[in-house]
Amino acid sequence: MTTAEIRKEITQLQTENAKIEQKLNVLHNDRQTTQEKIRNIDRDISLKERRNNEIKKSVFELTIELNKQISEQKRKERAEIVADRLKQQPTFDDVVQKELNAILCELREMNFNLGKEITFDELWNKYKEIAEEQGITRASVVRQESIKNYTNLLTNLIEKELDGGTIDLIEKRNLKQPIQNFLANPFIKNELQL
């Protein structure tokens, strides 16, 4: 190879080298820009994933709170319905009055001439004294407990009906049980002289 050919070859190689270096610089710049874009995208992905997790957590917590509020609202509405239904039912005193009257009627029908005769008004007035007692006596405590038992039994039947159940005659008759237990209590029997 001659000097001129070698020079020509060197020039060609240097030109090609300059073009390759220029391409390499562009590629290095592109790679650096791409890596920066990837870092930015990774950062954005991380931020979005974190925010998405925060949103999911908030939705979960708010759903629990909403369910609690809905449940509480339903409980309150049900309690109001039960309270309204309780107001429509005979009170403890109403049933006591009827039961005392029934006892006296049964005794009259049997024509027993034993012991002192007592009228309904006398019996009812004695009961009202127990009911209106301001202090705490054994009889008033027994009455309050009996009222609680009657109300609980009545409430259970109302709730059963609200839940779609049916109330049979025996269950209705059993509503008298707290009143009968009350009247059979020794303290009450003594106070009313039954």
- pLDDT value at position 135? 82
| pTM given for the model | 0.66
| CA atoms of 54 and 150, how far apart (whole Å) | 51
Instruction: Report which DSSP code applies to 112.
Output: -
| CA atoms of 191 and 130, how far apart (whole Å) | 8
- pLDDT value at position 133? 83
Q: Are 163 and 176 in contact (CB under 8 A)?
A: no
Q: Are 168 and 161 in contact (CB under 8 A)?
A: no
Q: Are 178 and 112 in contact (CB under 8 A)?
A: no
Q: Which residue do the tokens 């025996």 mark?
A: 170
Q: Are 119 and 133 in contact (CB under 8 A)?
A: no
pLDDT in tens, the chain (194 residues): 889 888 988 899 999 999 999 999 999 998 999 999 999 999 999 999 999 999 999 999 999 999 999 999 999 999 999 999 999 999 999 999 999 998 888 878 887 666 677 888 888 998 898 888 888 888 889 999 999 999 999 999 999 999 999 999 999 899 999 999 999 999 888 888 77
